[in-house]
Every structure is written in structure tokens, then in C-alpha cells.
Amino acid sequence: MNILWSNRFIQDAAGNRHAAAAFGCPRCGRVTLVEFAVPNHPSTSGTTINAQAEVSEILVLPDAQDLGLSVRHLPDDVDGFYLDAQRVLLAGVPDAAAVQLRKTLEAAAAHKGSKESTLFKSVKKLMDDGYLTQDFSRVMDHIRKIGNAGAHYTDVKLTAPEVERSLRFTTQVLRNLFEVPGELEELASESKGTTPDEFADE
């Protein structure tokens, strides 16, 4: 990432100053805005700041939520593959992103007890076990085939729009497998004992 500018301070209505920096990605051409704080550093102009020791990140824009890709309650390995897919896609390597999306599905299926000899069989077991409806069959098949195309040598290269569609499909699959059940568990934990019995079966 290249620093576009870093010495910018914005004052809010209460008189507080906010420090910000902008970074440009040389591959994707996009800009990332970072708000940061340097609480223990003197504000003397021209002094050197140790980024690792003195700078605290407050906010990064855009993040996964802004891009519609944020998924809660993901296991660490699933989240790692999912984020890697986003990074390499933004870096302009759709084939690598497709492979990471395939790995995301494999890890997700394994966490649901579906670790078969092939991803095709793992996806089928997810359906049979009721984790996903049959409506997702074509979605999972698409992600799997895109991942295969990215992993093997062919004369045809995957395009960014193709893999972006696969990424959106993967996001929906992960939300159904992890985010929705996780949110329901949180809801049950928060509301335990707060719902009157007479309304329970309405």
C-alpha cells in the first residue's frame, strides 16, 4: 500500500481532532482511509512516529461490512480462507481467489461434520443433513466448479466478475451455515426467561 497522505487532522463539533491517512493499492487502484490515534507521541511537527509501537488504528474504510461481505460467527480457519479470497481478488488474481473460495467451502463443510473424499460429496452431505436447502445446490456447485477452474491448468482464465459472483454466493452460504445459527444462539441466550410463557406457542 502506498501512502497518499497521512498528515491530516479533522476537527469535530466538540473540538476533538481526528487523525487520518489515505493509502492507495497499486494493484486494484482503490483507496483505503484509516483513522488513527497516537496517544503517547508529542505533537511536535517533524518528529518521527513508530507506527507499530505508537499508532492505534481506530477505523478503516471501506471494510468487509461496507462491501457487503461481512459474516459473523465464522470459525477462524473458515474466516481466514474467506478473507484471503477477498484480498487476492482485490489484488487482481481471480484464479487464486477462486481456489481460496473452494477452501472456504471445504473448511465450512468440515465444521458441520461433512468432510468427505471430494467437495462434491461434502456438499451433498450438507444438503442431506439439512444444513442447506436444495435451493443452494446450484450455488454450491458453481463455487466448486469455479474453484476447480482456478486450481487447474486450462487455456481459459477466470475473470474478476466471474469470481466476484462466486464470492457473493459464498457469502450467502456462510451466512446460512454460521451467521444465522450464531445470531439465533445469541438471541436465545439474551432472551432466556424474558418471554412470558403464554406467548411462547402463539
Roughly what angle, to the nearest 10 degrees, separates helices 160-174 and 94-111? 20
Checking if the pLDDT of 65 tops 80, the result is: no
Domain boundaries, the chain: 2-61, 76-187
Strands lying side by side in the sheet with 31-37:
2-11, 17-24, 31-37, 56-61
Q: Tell me which architecture the domain covering 76-187 has in CATH.
A: Up-down Bundle (1.20)
Confidence label for 94 from pLDDT (cuts 50, 70 and 90): very high
With bands split at pLDDT 50, 70 and 90, how would you rate the model's confidence at 66?
A: low
Residue pLDDT, tens place only, 153-163: 877 789 999 99
- Which residue is listed with cell 459464498? 170
Q: Are 5 and 22 in contact (CB under 8 A)?
A: yes
User: Which has more pLDDT, 50 or 82?
Assistant: 82
Residue 44's pLDDT band (cuts 50, 70, 90): very low
Q: Is 7 helix (H, G, I), strand (E, B) or coil?
A: strand
Residue in the block written with cell 452431505: 125
Within 13 Å of residue 174, how many CA atoms lie on the same side as its CB? 31
Q: Is the pLDDT of residue 137 over 60?
A: yes
Q: Is 0.75 surpassed by the pTM of this model?
A: no
Strands 56-61 and 17-24: unpaired
Whether the per-residue pLDDT at 106 is higher than 70: the answer is yes
- The reported pLDDT for the residue numbered 70 is 85
Please say whether the beta carbons of 182 and 100 come within 8 A: no
